Structure 1
Amino acid sequence: MLLTICTIRQLPQALALGDSFRHLSTQVTDKPLVLIGLADDPAHLPAGFVSPYPLLAIQELLTPTALEALSAKYTSTEFAAACKPLFIKAAFKRFPQEDKLIYADPAIQFVGSLALIWEKLATATALITPFITKSPGDLLWPDEKFFQNVGLYSADFLAFRRSAETDRLLSWWDDRVRERAFIDFCIGLCLDQLWLMHVPVFFRDVHVIRHPGWHVALWNLPERPIRKEGNTWLVSGPGGNNQPLQFINFKGMENADEGFFPHQQRLQLSQRPEIETLLTSYRQTLHSYPNLGLESIKPGYGKQPEPVVLRGWRHAAKQSLQRLTRFIDRVHIPVVN
């Protein structure tokens, strides 16, 4: 089973994700069920929209009072993160015949066979993927310290096997993120994913996947060369060489303001033609869906404003002011009697 969580404006990405999953679910052991968790108000869906995949609306999982309270305190991004364990638990409950579940962000596309994912999940409570698998070894941004702020593991891809240990993990995670899914580095919070740092320690049989073809993304492309051999994309990296590309996350590549790395300095997509090829194909896929104005629909939940991504002189001015503030904080001011 595949679960994704999205707002209405992200539905084209969610449909593209579901189609890539279904297209590759050809083996007997694969599970073609796709479920879309809608962290939005379905009343805002445009007339004529019909989803090829079942929708699970957040209104089905929370009381009106709880839903309104959660929406009032969070941005739409934080709101979706706060609901993720709840959606995963609900998916397992709704489909008791499914014993394995993959969660994937709408921006992900599956490229290679799913067989290896199911194989690894057969003996694991959960599968998680680290943002990076080696030290960058330079002074560019993002550095290792930044990953200590956003988390060591990405919450954009997770996989779970039904078990008592998984139930315990999801209950713990749900308890943490429902009220603490803010993006606030100063108090040690970052959505649902910062909590994942504890998961390999607190829970049994959690496997950290370092396979270079798993979860290729903007943040790890500098350490993962990609080449095409025939019809197969091959990826190298610290976890192995010339491994098949399993899935790729286009977050921050399709929309530069999306995600945590709008000002990253380590990669220029224009210098990676193979990524441009994959990105062009992805854009064509998104444009193939009927245009019903989904992208312009404002999320119905998450009433707090999303932070504005500053660019150019505004970003430079903000950095200068932050450096000045840190300097002033370190200046000793003598006490005058």
Structure 2
Amino acid sequence: MTLAFTICSINYLAQARTLGDSLKQTNPDWQYVIGLVDKLDGANLPAELIPPYPMLEVDQIEIEDFAGMCDRYDITELNTAVKPFYIDYFFRNHPEATQVIYFDPDIIIFQPLTRLSQHLTEYNMVLTPHICSPVNDWLNPNEMHHLNTGIFNLGFIGLQKTTESQRFVNWWKQRLVYECRIDLCEGLFVDQHWVNFAPIYHEGVWIEKHPGYNAAYWNLHERFFSEEQGVWRVNGEVDLQFFHYSGYGPYKPQDVSKYQNRFTFENRPDIAPLFDLYRQRLLNNRNDVYRTYPCVYIKPPKILYYQQIRKALKSPLNKLISTLENH
């Protein structure tokens, strides 16, 4: 059995529901779980806002130092740091799940993922690189950005339940307890850089370069889209498997992503219908309501401010400046 999951807080449940709806339509035999980095008992969601999918709250998956992680991390870091802990939980508590697959909530699945399922019978894990061909300008993101944020995009990872995968997950958990930070001066960008080591440390790692997998703003320079009889195609050659709408907001529908400045819907009209589709699905899934719910694990502003100052002071550049100013 294949178990697919995502991780989010209540304010992102519209995205998680949209992902779940697409999985239900395309891969109905898969089990889908929402890992919730939040608490439902204090939110008092009305019945119509309860997703029709199982939700597993993060404080139920037995993370030994979860309180410490909440103190160390902001909400983005925390949501990514718990990823291998969820995988480990599913490995331990769902023996029927021979394949465990993570998707970021801002993804739509467009096809039955039969190629992925096949690879997860042959390999221990499947990863997707951000890009598969050179970027020929210096707009954002370029190759230097990917050096800073990681070769692989961890908005997706698939694992077969094997001894080798368990070894990887155990190692990844250890690293993310303290080092799932956004700290580019220290070579860290949440959970992503650590997985650069996966193909080196472990056997049976498939690097998926199929252009229909994890299409997103960072690889639009190499992927063009068309719709043929209701099926989305990439480069006129293969079916689009899943699209990752990272950085897109339905209330700024003119922007492809807040993280890039290379493409617009004017110079890439081929992607406009894909984003119109996503925007409508988010609105149908009550994004306007969910986004008003604060996450219980978000630090109060004053605490968060001092936490950010403390992180900034760890920067080698700031340490050097401080040393020079004091002498």
Instruction: Find the aligned partners of 1:283 and 1:138 in 2 and give their Cα distance.
Output: 29
Post-superposition Cα deviations, 1:225-276, rounded to whole Å, max 9, x if no partner, equal 111222211112xxxx61110000011233679xxx7352321233222311
Moved more, 148-157 or 225-234: 225-234
* Kept after mapping to 1: 8 A contact 2:90/2:97: no
Change (3 A) 1:143 1:50: closer
The aligned counterpart of 1:57 is 57
Instruction: Map 1:135-174; keep pairs closer than 5 Å.
Output: 135-174=134-173
Specify the SS of the correspondent of 1:274. Answer: coil
Offset at residue 42 of structure 1 (A): 2.2
- Answer yes or no: is 1:248 the counterpart of 2:250: no
The aligned counterpart of 1:262 is 258
The aligned counterpart of 2:312 is none
The aligned counterpart of 2:25 is 23
Q: Find the partner of 2:297 among 293, 301, 309.
A: 301
Offset at residue 121 of structure 1 (A): 1.3
Read off the aligned partner of 1:296 and give its amino acid letter: T
Instruction: Find the aligned partners of 2:227 and 2:116 in 1 and give their Cα distance.
Output: 22
Instruction: Map 1:1-337; keep pairs closer than 5 Å.
Output: 1-26=3-28, 31-48=29-46, 49-62=49-62, 66-236=65-235, 242-254=237-249, 262=258, 264-290=260-286, 293-303=289-299, 305=304
Instruction: Find the aligned partners of 1:187 and 1:164 in 2 and give their Cα distance.
Output: 31
The aligned counterpart of 2:308 is none
Aligned residues: CA RMSD: 2.4
Instruction: Find the aligned partners of 2:304 and 2:290 in 1 and give their Cα distance.
Output: 19
TM-score after normalising by structure 2: 0.85
Offset at residue 218 of structure 1 (A): 0.8
Instruction: Find the aligned partners of 1:128 and 1:291 in 2 and give their Cα distance.
Output: 29
Aligned identity (percent) is 30
Specify the SS of the correspondent of 1:155. Answer: coil
Offset at residue 291 of structure 1 (A): 6.4
The aligned counterpart of 2:310 is none
* Kept after mapping to 2: 8 A contact 1:125/1:162: yes
TM-score after normalising by structure 1: 0.82
* Kept after mapping to 1: 8 A contact 2:226/2:232: yes
Post-superposition Cα deviations, 1:203-244, rounded to whole Å, max 9, x if no partner, equal 1100000000111101111211111222211112xxxx6111
Post-superposition Cα deviations, 1:298-332, rounded to whole Å, max 9, x if no partner, equal 121142649xxxxxxxxxxxxxxxxxx9xxx9xxx
Runs of at least 5 residues in structure 1 that lack an aligned partner in the other structure: 307-324
Regions of 4+ moved over 6 Å:
none
Read off the aligned partner of 1:200 and give its amino acid letter: P
**How many residues in Structure 1 have an aligned counterpart in Structure 2?**
298
Change (3 A) 1:286 1:263: closer
Specify the SS of the correspondent of 1:44. Answer: coil
Runs of at least 5 residues in structure 2 that lack an aligned partner in the other structure: 306-316
